[in-house]
Amino acid sequence: MKRIDLNADLGEGGPDDAALMALVSSANIACGGHAGNADTMRTGIRLAMAAGVSIGAHPGYEDREHFGRRPLDLPSEQVREMVENQLRSFREIARGEGADVNHVKPHGALYNQADRSPNLAAAVAEAARSVFPEAALFGPPAGCLEAAARTAGLEFVAEGFADRRYLPDGSLVPRSEPDAVIENPDEAVAQALDIARESSVRTRNGPRICLPAKTLCVHGDGPASVDLLRSLRKALESNGFTIGR
């Protein structure tokens, strides 16, 4: 049996966390930066534990007005301190709940900028290692985050997106462009199956590119995220995949 992880970004104030938690195998729970607070972290951790879902910390830029999705120009040392502080807060709550934290996934603009910047990627990886040295780091394949994880001695888990379109260089179409998000569930499921089965993805108006991924993400704040995840899970299982880390 082939194996693939399904993850979603949760604890961000959306109404469907409980339903999504029943469909994923990994949950990226907001750490109070771009979204969330101590109460939502605690609730997310409890939901994940009850569902038997792998728990991940989801740090992001502290820019709630733009949901952490606006690129910022911050020194790498400031980014490291910001991420480390968020992870320490998450660790304290997880310990209080008796929960293990299995991965770290940066959010939004931090995710995208760090994957193109060796200095920012190193800041994220070093912060993750200092707080969760046994946890994996999620990120795009073959970018700066993967290289930084290897340097820091962290396990790296390459990620693909079901509901985002790709550019020929392997980056995501910016959310400022109208077709960045795949809103048609059938199209999103088809893209995710391509990534899982073929380790490749068709880019927007461009060639197919290699995209080896061990985890697939569906954004938890999408209006159809529950239906999409349900359909995707069924399609993966029908194609011989076991869902899980």
Locate the domains of the chain by residue range: 2-243
Q: What is the pLDDT of residue 71?
A: 97
Q: Which amino acid is at 211?
A: L
Q: What is the pLDDT of residue 63?
A: 97
Residue pair 9/216 in contact (Cβ under 8 Å)? The answer is: no
* pLDDT tens series, the chain, 245 aa: 799 999 999 999 889 999 999 999 999 999 999 999 999 999 999 999 999 999 999 999 999 999 999 999 999 999 999 999 999 999 999 999 999 999 999 999 999 999 999 999 999 999 999 999 999 999 999 999 999 999 999 999 999 999 999 999 999 999 999 899 999 999 999 999 999 999 999 999 889 999 999 999 999 887 789 999 999 999 999 999 999 98
> In CATH, what number does 2-243 get?
3.20.20.370
Q: What is the pLDDT of residue 224?
A: 87
Residue pair 5/215 in contact (Cβ under 8 Å)? The answer is: yes
pTM score: 0.96
Tokens coding 220: 């938890």
- Count Cα atoms within 13 angstroms, Cβ side, for 119: 7
Q: What is the pLDDT of residue 144?
A: 98
Q: What is the pLDDT of residue 221?
A: 85
Q: What is the pLDDT of residue 205?
A: 83
Strands 241-243 and 2-10: parallel
Residue 70: closest CA among 107, 109, 114, 34: 109
Residue pair 143/166 in contact (Cβ under 8 Å)? The answer is: no
